[in-house]
Amino acid sequence: MRTLPGIVLAMTAVVLTACSGGGSTNESAPSTTESSTGATTPPTSTAAQQDCKAGYLSQFTLRQKLAQLLTVGVTGEADAENVVRTEQVGGIFVGGWTDKALLAQHQIDKVKAASRTPLMVTIDEEGGRVSRVKDLIGVAPSARQTVQQMSAEEFYRFSLDRAQKMRLLGITVDFAPDVDVSSQPDDSVIGDRSFSDDPDVVVEYAGAAIRGLQEAGVGTVIKHFPGHGSGSGDSHTGAVQTPPLAQLQNKDLVPFRKLIGTGSAVMVGHLDVPGLTTQGVPASISPQVMSLLRQGNGYDAAPFDGVIFTDDLGGMAAITARMSIEDAVEAALVAGADNALWITTDAVPTVLDRLVQAVTDGRLPGSQVDASVMRMAKFKGTAPQC
């Protein structure tokens, strides 16, 4: 499975020693029973491998490990540098409200320098009406227009060119492509963000985009699991219900089933799914949804051991009308997500306070946190080769 190429920073001496197999087991160091891919460690795992993972994790305090599982929207350089320096969050998000000088004037370099470990710089650059840097790298058609205007191979080359430009701006992860299957009107919540109402066409074009982005060194995130294309409304404005799980199998879930092995992360939507989610508990904070994705057998897919992101937990009424950001982030991570996304930095300290307490009280297992930290490191290309 391909992972996001990144600038691998020098690890601390304890990490290097542990990964070489030359160090003794540190009984007090954070540890996990899972491998760097998130799979259960096989019985043949050596003590040196366990030491290697423990060595990597030992560079973080508990609060810093939890911070690696957060991606937050920023307004500009000062906001970004402050949250990275003070809380060591794992990622920042560049939205439509972000001062583009952060990228255009390479202010992002100063922000990255404030991070002890490689920082994810994320964006949702889909093209069409969801395009944050079109003024910096040029305009792209919507997904639906793309299918009408170019072949999948042409779209691969187009995506590669745009991704190379994004990478030069300092962007490392694109929350794209959208693999929802939809025939809804262009201006609906998904609408022209969907390549097609034919899942095979979605797979073909989304696969081309993934190939182009990843070859340029930009991580990809397919969304919105388990499928927003047939949803009842817009999760930005309220609760959204999809058709029952059985009806998603041959349409909405097809792109996830076929693209799950591409090295992409997966973003889970705020979707109520009859036959899968508990009433009032949307997919983004649902243990049943995380289990479906991880195990795969509930929709005839391979097990997924990559990164699971939530959709925005702080600016979408499908979540905010139900709970606070602190409640939402805790619920998402407890359910099994690896990374909680929201669009402001104000609540980061209180969110981390809550998460530390959740681990202390046993609501969020420390081993689960460790596994998510290792998945994030692998996605960023910085995990030790244990």
Catalytic residue numbers read 236, 311
Helices 287-295 and 325-335 pack at an angle, to 10 degrees, of 30
What residues have CB less than 8 Å from 91, skipping those under 6 apart? 70, 71, 72, 119, 120, 121, 122, 173, 339
CA-based end-to-end distance of the chain: 16
What residues have CB less than 8 Å from 89, skipping those under 6 apart? 67, 68, 70, 71, 72, 83, 348
Q: Tell me if 308 sits within 8 A of 268, measured CB to CB.
A: yes
How many Cβ atoms sit within 10 Å of the Cβ of residue 9? 11
Sign (positive or negative) of CA dihedral 366, 372, 375, 377: negative
